[in-house]
């Protein structure tokens, strides 16, 4: 991840954060820490990670909304997907407070689109918690 951050800088952090917000097994946190260690300014790292991750989360939300039946089947095949479906069904928009969590967060974003949760709540709760996660990580690392 360090070579990625060194070669691509804030664009690499944004790309890693975008991929990390999808179901791809990419750790955006490692990219953030690598960029900080290489001397990329914390504010730049925060902005690029937050924007990249927000766009990836919005992609998941949109896919869940547009491809509802395929999304439901895909989520039902995985344990984390079944858990996400249960959380959204039980807690509605409030389930998005867990969207920053590893493993469960990305399926929650898909489920939010599937259940057609309001986009405003998705942005506020789902993306908001992800941005706060980066803020805490960067403050702890600097």
- Block means of pLDDT (10 residues each) for the chain, 142 residues, are 71 92 86 92 97 96 95 94 96 96 92 97 96 97 92
User: What is the C-alpha separation between 93 and 117, in angstroms, rounded?
Assistant: 6
pLDDT tens track for 55-96 = 999 999 999 999 999 999 999 999 999 999 999 999 999 999
Domain limits, the chain: 2-141
Per-residue burial over 38-49, b if 16 or more Cβ lie within 10 Å, else e, is eebeeeebbbbb
Predicted TM-score of the model (pTM): 0.91
What pLDDT shows up at residue 78?
94
């Amino acid at each position: 991840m360090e070579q990625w951050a060194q070669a691509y800088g804030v664009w690499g952090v944004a790309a890693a954060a975008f991929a990390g917000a999808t179901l791809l097994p990419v750790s955006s946190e490692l990219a953030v820490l690598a960029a900080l260690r290489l001397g990329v300014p914390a504010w730049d790292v925060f902005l690029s990670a937050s924007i990249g991750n927000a766009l990836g989360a919005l992609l998941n939300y949109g896919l869940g909304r547009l491809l509802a039946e395929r999304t439901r089947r895909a989520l039902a095949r995985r344990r984390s997907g079944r858990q996400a479906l249960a959380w959204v069904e039980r807690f509605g928009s409030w389930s998005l407070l867990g969207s920053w969590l590893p493993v469960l967060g990305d399926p929650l974003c898909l489920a939010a689109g599937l259940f057609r949760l309001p986009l405003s709540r998705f942005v506020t709760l789902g993306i908001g918690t992800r941005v706060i996660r980066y803020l805490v990580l960067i403050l702890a690392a600097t």
